Amino acid sequence: MRLQKFLARAGVASRRHAEELIAAGRVTVNGAVVAEMGAKVDPATDEVAVDGAPVALPDENVTFMLHKPAGYVTTMSDPQGRPTVAELVDVPAHPGLFPVGRLDTDTTGLLLFTTDGELGHGLLHPRQHVTKRYLALVEGALTEADARRLREGVTLEDGPTLPADVRILADAEAERAAALIGDDGASSGQRQRHGGKRSRAALAQGGTYVEVGLREGRKRQVRRMLAAVGHPVIALHRQSFGPLDLGELPRGHARRLTDAEVAALKAAAR
């Protein structure tokens, strides 16, 4: 484990501040000062200290599920002062907690946090193809022909996508999707395209609710795929990640996963 990551995981400082501590010569490993940013330590055998005080990792990893609201940046700190998802989880009580992947600022829904680097890496590794399911409200009437194109995979600027699981929602399913998405996930892109003159409610009247399941995780992929078939996203919500569903968790709240849920995630990440 890189030394600065070890210090952050142990709750000594953020990674950026940990680098400053290392550069200042305040960190020792097995009694020797270490000033190299790329230095690695073995938490099981190496003795790390800051200003002479021993530092150790927490005894166990923790994993949380957050129901992310719109308007929060998926980062632990933001130099621009924007609201971050770190404000919605108990980071001080669980040093080293980090988000597993990202959700766009406008996107709502299930975001995982963990202190388990191996689990986080496994869930995001392209080889694992862990499915994430999204509910989207898109502009216009998305047809079965459009859905078929998405199921077959579309070509984006960074190459062809894997086939997606796509279902057009209607009647009770569309009503449920509307309730789950809520009314705070309006896309900034939608506002820009319409100059702020058309409300989300007005666009929704002629729009379509759709469920999309992806097995890869490129930047803004759901939005780009739907735009590629002529239906820009009005609002987007992630309802599930692998075996976990958001359930009834209120927006803006987080909860610690049970041992069974963590085991299910680890199985999906193998």
| Structure tokens that stand for 147 in this block | 């859905």
In angstroms, the CA 219 to CA 104 distance is 9
Provide the terminal-to-terminal Cα distance of the chain, rounded to the nearest Å: 21
Selecting among 78, 104, 184, 245, the annotated active-site residue is 104
In angstroms, the CA 85 to CA 241 distance is 17
CB atoms within 10 A of CB 67: 21
Which residue(s) pair with 208 in the sheet? 138
Q: Is 146 a catalytic residue?
A: no
The DSSP letter of residue 73 is B
Which residues, 6+ apart, have CB-to-CB distance to 192 below 8 Å? none
Which residues, 6+ apart, have CB-to-CB distance to 161 below 8 Å? 153, 154, 155, 216, 218, 221, 225
Which residues carry out catalysis? 104
